[in-house]
């Protein structure tokens, strides 16, 4: 019995070791998280308490402008609306509430950034603004440095001045007690990046929100995908009117190094990564609106065909979901190369390019798999109020990971 008492503990230990799993496989990696950023323009029936804020990480209230060299609202009523949105953080403590400055056709950036004194005045106004409203950050939407888009002022020096502006904003925002996020909206086409000191700017910001939409504008002489994910190569459009028009552009502008070929999220992300941008700083865009052209022939179901002009400059996804998709005259098609849907109405010769629940899901999966920063979209107010909204499709992908 004495011997058994001495041996028993050893036997128990040996038996226990037999059931301890031994594995040389690496530990399971933590799930990759991404940001989900919603640009938001207050709707007519403004109810921030009804917004699906639990489905996003950031909401970017749009827009302030550069007015008299400072960041201000054009409409004073937006102050109260912003306060109401910030108050929602009590129910959604995870949410980061930011402010966007600029937008398409917003002027004043070039003059503001041109001198040390002008930048100082603007930066001080930003700090005061974000402190007053207890915001979590700022998005600079300068469209575009050194490019006079939509008649905005521009000068060659914008390239260096943009870097200085972002550097000074970063330093000043760091003085606030509440941690600040600094982002900027960048274009989805290569020529933009010749006018910014990309890697220098990226030293001072958290994210670059690439506007991977409006890749084909409403004034384009040919139809196409305005917000595609997939990498579309020249060979993919060969033999179409779109390819012919692009080749004519190149011949008539031989000294122009503009990128006339098909654009997409995958293409511009690859370009930015090749330039040395960190993947975790890249955020791609989804469009909660569509572009439509009229007078489109039925060849290839209207894709990459000529048109007679814009049918609708843009239409909200809510309108597309409720009016166009249920209309039997409109048939939905899927382009596996572009990874994008489109609608074509053969009766009325109308072509519509847009994002739907399938394409935004693929964009979100791409962001997760590529391990880039995340996904953003323009803009929340355009989404359907149905349960199966575009935002819900994005949220479901992130939640399932």
Residues marked active site are found at 143
Q: What is the largest distance, in Å, between two alpha-carbon atoms of the chain?
A: 102
Alpha helix stretches (DSSP H) within 64-185: 77-87, 109-113, 116-133, 158-173
- The number of beta carbons lying within 10 Å of the beta carbon of residue 220 is 19
- The phi, psi pair for 120, rounded to 5°, reads -60, -45
Interatomic CA distance for residues 293 and 310, integer angstroms: 4
Structure tokens at 354: 């847009």
Interatomic CA distance for residues 264 and 230, integer angstroms: 6
Interatomic CA distance for residues 239 and 90, integer angstroms: 57
| Nearest by Cα to 208 from 232, 235, 183, 180 | 183
Interatomic CA distance for residues 86 and 84, integer angstroms: 6
Angle between helices 357-370 and 265-275 (to 10 degrees): 20
Interatomic CA distance for residues 227 and 229, integer angstroms: 7
| Nearest by Cα to 223 from 315, 295, 164 | 295
| Nearest by Cα to 196 from 155, 149, 148, 158 | 158
SS3 content of the chain, % helix, strand, coil (to 5): 40, 20, 40
Structure tokens at 375: 């996904």
- The phi, psi pair for 141, rounded to 5°, reads -115, 70
Please, what is the end-to-end C-alpha distance for the chain in angstroms? 57
Structure tokens at 372: 């880039």
Interatomic CA distance for residues 163 and 157, integer angstroms: 10
The answer to whether the beta carbons of residues 338 and 367 sit under 8 Å apart is no
């Amino acid at each position: 019995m004495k011997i058994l008492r001495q041996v028993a503990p050893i036997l128990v230990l040996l038996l226990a070791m037999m059931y301890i799993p031994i594995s040389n496989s690496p530990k399971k990696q933590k799930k990759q998280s991404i940001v989900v950023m919603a640009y938001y323009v207050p709707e007519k029936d403004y109810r921030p308490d009804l917004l699906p804020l639990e489905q996003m990480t950031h909401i970017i209230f749009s827009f302030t402008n550069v007015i008299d060299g400072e960041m201000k609202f054009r409409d004073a009523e937006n102050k109260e609306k912003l306060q109401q949105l910030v108050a929602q953080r009590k129910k959604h403590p995870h949410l980061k509430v930011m402010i966007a400055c600029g937008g398409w056709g917003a002027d004043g950036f070039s003059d503001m950034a041109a001198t040390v004194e002008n930048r100082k005045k603007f930066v001080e106004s930003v700090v005061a603004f974000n402190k007053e409203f207890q915001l979590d950050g700022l998005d600079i939407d300068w469209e575009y440095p050194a490019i006079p888009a939509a008649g905005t002022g521009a000068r060659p020096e914008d390239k260096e001045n943009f870097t200085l502006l972002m550097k000074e904003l970063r330093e000043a925002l760091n003085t606030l007690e509440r941690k600040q996020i600094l982002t900027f909206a960048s274009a989805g086409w290569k020529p933009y990046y010749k006018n910014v000191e990309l890697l220098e700017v990226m030293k001072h910001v958290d994210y670059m929100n690439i506007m991977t939409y409006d890749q084909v504008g409403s004034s384009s002489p040919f139809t196409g995908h305005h917000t595609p994910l997939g990498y579309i190569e020249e060979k993919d459009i060969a033999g179409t009117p779109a390819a012919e028009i692009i080749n004519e552009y190149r011949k008539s502008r031989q000294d122009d190094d503009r990128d006339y070929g098909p654009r997409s999220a995958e293409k511009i992300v690859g370009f930015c990564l090749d330039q040395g941008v960190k993947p975790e700083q890249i955020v791609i865009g989804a469009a909660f609106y569509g572009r439509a052209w009229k007078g489109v022939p039925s060849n290839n179901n209207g894709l990459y065909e000529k048109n007679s002009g814009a049918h609708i400059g843009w239409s909200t996804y809510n309108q597309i979901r409720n009016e166009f998709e249920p209309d039997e005259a409109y048939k939905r098609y899927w382009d596996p190369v572009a990874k994008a849907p489109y609608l074509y109405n053969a009766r009325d010769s109308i072509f519509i390019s847009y994002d739907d629940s399938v394409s935004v899901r693929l964009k979100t999966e791409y962001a997760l798999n590529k391990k880039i920063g995340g996904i953003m979209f323009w803009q929340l107010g355009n989404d359907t109020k149905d349960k199966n909204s575009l935002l819900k499709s994005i949220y479901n992908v992130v939640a399932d990971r």
